Amino acid sequence: MIQMYESLGISREVYEYSEKILSGLKDRFQTIDETAEYNQLKVIKAMQDARVSAECFETSSGYGYNDRGRDTLEEVYANIFHTEAALVRPQITCGTHALAIALSANLRPGDELLSISGKPYDTLEEVIGIRPSRGSLAEYGVTYAQVDLLPDGSFDYDAIRAAIKPQTKMVEIQRSKGYQTRPTLSVTQIGEAIAFVKNIRPDIICMVDNCYGEFVEKKEPGELGADMVVGSLIKNPGGGLAPAGGYIAGTLACIEQCAFRLTSPGLGREVGANFGVMQSFYQGLFLAPTVTAAALKGAVFAANVYEKLGFAVVPDGSEERHDIIQAITFGFPEGVIAFCEGIQAAAPVDSYVTPEPWAMPGYDCDVIMAAGAFVQGSSIELSADGPIKPPYAVYFQGGLTWPHAKLGIMMSLQKLYEKGLVKLA
Ligand SMILES: *Cc1c(COP(=O)(O)O)cnc(C)c1O
């Protein structure tokens, strides 16, 4: 084994350090496997109940009328996320697009959007108009208000109550930390917040940005009253096989609105050819619970490796997980860069290129991104992003298999070690 690792560039010191860390993680990994088992059964049951058949994988073109594969897949998603309906489409280009549809489809001029989990994910700033942008909700007269989480990462219920106004039409809750070093919210916490909001005003639409959270727990936010649950297919639910796409699962009323926005008023869900992606959508969803488990093991391993080396990690090494993202704060840009170089060097694709910080659309500073992915930009595949600004934290996620996630972390450590940025005791 060690020779195989050495052939990939891992030194004996890094190998031994890693094995020592791993020997303490057996119980954690067992819990992760048990959640994957439960969620695998949930997915199989949903596919059986919707009578998924070989015809569901057939391609459609043109308008895409009567696309049985597409309609059945949407039924499967609705079942898994405990919602009345779902939109799951290759025409939804990414998570940001899915969220933009969910917001713009259900908000009208004069309505207010209230985020109760603090600042939303970076790319949503332009969607909402927090940072001015063409076509933002702000341009259409939709206002925005925000309640930050308390210092311990929990909801600020007093402030939420005070922020709910007659024009508040929708509440947004972001499950995952995104590019922040706050804790990720559990599904139970999200459910409590939804119940609190609904108790004040039952008509407020509660939307959860579910990116990176799918299949991490046994429950999804739809089970606890979310009106819309939104995510990307090149993250958890695509299982690494979906080549693109996004989903919105929710109440029939919300999903109809979203469909009219995505395609056209009047056409809605009836149109939208599948271009032959259906098998990858179904098969990726089938694999998603175990792929998510692999990514989670990688995240737990990374947390423990870097915590022991003295870096701040969120979540910490022993904390329960609610998404697949691991934040590691290096405090200096070289750490972020070396980490990303290691992730890149461990990839099956593009392992020979060196990632560099660069300006990216949607972000307000240079970002370094490491990914050697089969699907471009896929972050359920092993990948790391680091905005080059204080506190110089790297956000690591993914890994279609646990051995690959493990190699990636070991390689990141190798790069830091070679540059003299860490000492291995
Ligand atoms: C990734 C992510 C998004 C945006 O998804 P893209 O597919 O990158 O557009 C939104 N919110 C959160 C919390 C995310 O992690």
User: pLDDT tens digits, residue range 320-362?
Assistant: 999 999 999 999 999 999 999 999 999 999 999 999 999 987 6
158-199 per-position pLDDT tens digit = 999 999 999 999 999 999 987 677 888 999 999 999 999 999
1: CA distance to ligand 1 center in Å?
Answer: 37
Q: What is the mean pLDDT of residues 355-370?
A: 88
Q: What is the largest CA-CA distance in the chain?
A: 66
**pLDDT category of residue 61 using cuts at 50, 70 and 90:** very high
Q: Is the pLDDT of residue 140 over 70?
A: yes
Which residue, by CA, sits nearest to atom 8 of ligand 1? 95
Ligand 1 site-directed mutation target among 211, 247, 380, most atoms within 8 Å of CB? 211
pLDDT at 369 (0 to 100) = 94
Report CA 49 to chain centroid distance, whole Å: 26
At residue 341, what is the residue type?
Answer: E
Please report the pLDDT score of residue 182 as a whole number.
Answer: 83
Give, using CA atoms, the residue closest to atom 2 of ligand 1. 211
Q: What is the 3-state secondary structure (H, E, C) of the chain?
A: CHHHHHHCCCCHHHHHHHHHHHHCCHHHHHHHHHHHHHHHHHHHHHHHHCCCCHHHHCCCCCCCCCCHHHHHHHHHHHHHCCCCEEEEECCCCCHHHHHHHHHHHHCCCCCEEEECCCCCCCCHHHHHCCCCCCCCCHHHCCEEEECCCCCCCCCCHHHHHHHCCCCEEEEEEECCCCCCCCCCCCHHHHHHHHHHHHHHCCCCEEEEECCCCCCCCCCCHHHHCCCEEEEECCCHHHCCCCCCCEEEEECHHHHHHHHHHHCCCCCHHHCCCCCCCHHHHHHHHHHHHHHHHHHHHHHHHHHHHHHHCCCEEECCCCCCCCCCCEEEECCCHHHHHHHHHHHHHCCCCCCCCCCCCEECCCCCCEEEEEECCCCCCCCCCCEEEEECCCCCEEEEECCCCHHHHHHHHHHHHHHHHHCCCCCCC
Instruction: Point out the ligand 1 atom lying closest to the alpha carbon of residue 246.
Output: 7
Which residues are near ligand 1 (CB < 6 Å)? 94-96, 99, 121, 123, 174, 176, 178, 209, 211-212, 232
CA-closest candidate to residue 13, choices 419, 418, 328, 421: 418
Residue with tokens 């409590």: 192
Specify the pairing of strand 112-115 against strand 85-89: unpaired
Ligand 1 centre and the CA of 96: distance in Å? 6
Stretch 420-424: mean pLDDT? 94
For ligand 1, atom 14: residue with the closest CA: 211
Q: What is the pLDDT of residues 76-98, one digit of tens each?
A: 999 999 999 999 999 999 999 99
Kindly give the distance from the C-alpha atom of residue 279 to the centroid of ligand 1, in angstroms, as a whole number. Answer: 24
